Amino acid sequence: MDNHYNGLKTAALFGAIWALLLGIGSLVGGGQYIWMFALIGVATTFYGYWNSDKLAIKAMRAYPVTEAEAPVMHRIVRELSEKAGKPMPRLYISPTDAPNAFATGRNPDNAAVCCTKGILELLDERELRGVLGHELMHVYNRDILTGSVAAALAGVITSVAQMALFFGSGRDRGGNPLAMIALALLAPMAAAVIQLAISRTREYDADEDGARLTEDPIALASALRKLQYGTARAPLPPNPDLVNTSHMMIANPFRAQDVSRFFATHPPMPERIARLENMAGRRLP
C-alpha cells in the first residue's frame, strides 16, 4: 500500500490548530480567559462525540434495517467486521436519492453504518463492498473522535476570536483594536481551513485502509468514480443539519460549485481514485 503519511499529516494539523488556539488565547485578556473557552470546547466535543450516531442518522432521516430488508448490505458488513475482528455495527438506510454513505458512532461497539437509497441503486455489489470497507475503517480508526475534537477546537478558536473584540480590543487593556478586529475575522477562517484539512487526511486514510480490508482497491475506485457523477446529478440540499454531517459521508454530497476546494471536507475525487489505482498497480480502463 502507498504510504502517504496521513497520520503524520493529521498530527501536524492538530499541532497547527492548537498553536493557533494558544496564540489567540495569549492575546485575549492576557490569556486569563482561555480556560473558559477550553472547558466549552471539551463539553462540546463530549456531546458531539457521544451523540454523533444519533445526530447524523436523524439529519439523514435514516431508519434501521434488518437482514431480511437489506441482505446484501448485512452480508458484506458482517463479513468485513468478522475479518477485522470487530463487532457488527447497526445498519441504516436513508430514503434519499442522493448516492452516499457514512459511518458514525463513538467506537466499534457503538457504531452505525448508513447507506442512502441512491447509493444502493447506483453501485454493484463489489463496489458497495469497497464503500462499506471505507466506512468501517472510519470507525476502526476512531475518526469520529478526531473529527469531534477538531470541530470543538475550531469552535473554541471562533469563540475566543469573537470575545477578543470585547476583552482585548481596548488600548487600556494593551490591545490593538485593528489587530483584534483582524484576529476576530481571520482566526475562525484559519481554524476552519485546518479542521477541513484534517477531515481530508482522514478520508485518504479510510480509502487506503478500507481498500486493504477488502483487498480490492479497484472496487472502491470504481465506486468513487460513479459517486463523483452521481452526487452531481442528485446533490443534497445544503441545509445546516446536512452541512454539519457532510464531513462523515464518503463523497461531498453538495454541488461542486457550492463548495470551493479550499473549504471542501473531502479530497478531490480524481486524486482519491488515482491513489487507489496506484495501490492496485494498474489503471482502470
Confidence of residue 158 (pLDDT cuts 50, 70, 90): confident
Which residues does 120 contact at the CB level (< 8 Å), separation at least 6? 70, 73, 93, 128
What does the alpha-carbon distance between residue 111 and residue 128 come to, in Å, rounded to a whole number? 18
pLDDT at 78: 97
Q: Is residue 243 part of a domain?
A: yes
More confident residue, 1 or 179: 179
By residue range, what is the domain housing residue 222?
6-280
What does the alpha-carbon distance between residue 225 and residue 270 come to, in Å, rounded to a whole number? 8
pLDDT greater than 90 at residue 276: yes
Q: Is residue 49 part of a domain?
A: yes
Residue 273 neighbours by CB distance under 10 Å: 22
What does the alpha-carbon distance between residue 201 and residue 116 come to, in Å, rounded to a whole number? 24
Q: What is the SS3 assignment for 37?
A: helix
- Could you tell me if 204 and 182 are in contact, meaning their C-beta atoms sit under 8 angstroms apart? no
How many CA atoms, within 13 angstroms, populate the side-chain half-sphere of residue 89?
30
Alpha carbon of 33 to those of 29, 171, 176, 190: distances in Å?
Answer: 7, 18, 18, 21
The mean per-residue pLDDT over the stretch 183-207 comes to 78
Strands 111-116 and 90-94: parallel
pLDDT greater than 70 at residue 250: yes
Q: Is residue 1 part of a domain?
A: no
Which residues does 79 contact at the CB level (< 8 Å), separation at least 6? none
| Mean pLDDT value across the chain | 80
Q: Is residue 285 part of a domain?
A: no
- The number of domains in the chain is 1
- From 6-10, 91-95, 141-145, the region with the lowest mean pLDDT: 6-10
Q: Is residue 164 part of a domain?
A: yes
135 labelled catalytic: yes
- Could you tell me if 102 and 250 are in contact, meaning their C-beta atoms sit under 8 angstroms apart? yes
- Could you tell me if 191 and 260 are in contact, meaning their C-beta atoms sit under 8 angstroms apart? no
The secondary structure element, H or E, covering residue 105 is strand 101-105
The secondary structure element, H or E, covering residue 91 is strand 90-94
More confident residue, 85 or 16: 85
The mean per-residue pLDDT over the stretch 55-77 comes to 94
What does the alpha-carbon distance between residue 236 and residue 222 come to, in Å, rounded to a whole number? 22
Q: Is residue 268 part of a domain?
A: yes
Residue 116 neighbours by CB distance under 10 Å: 26
The active-site residue out of 127, 135, 203, 208 is 135
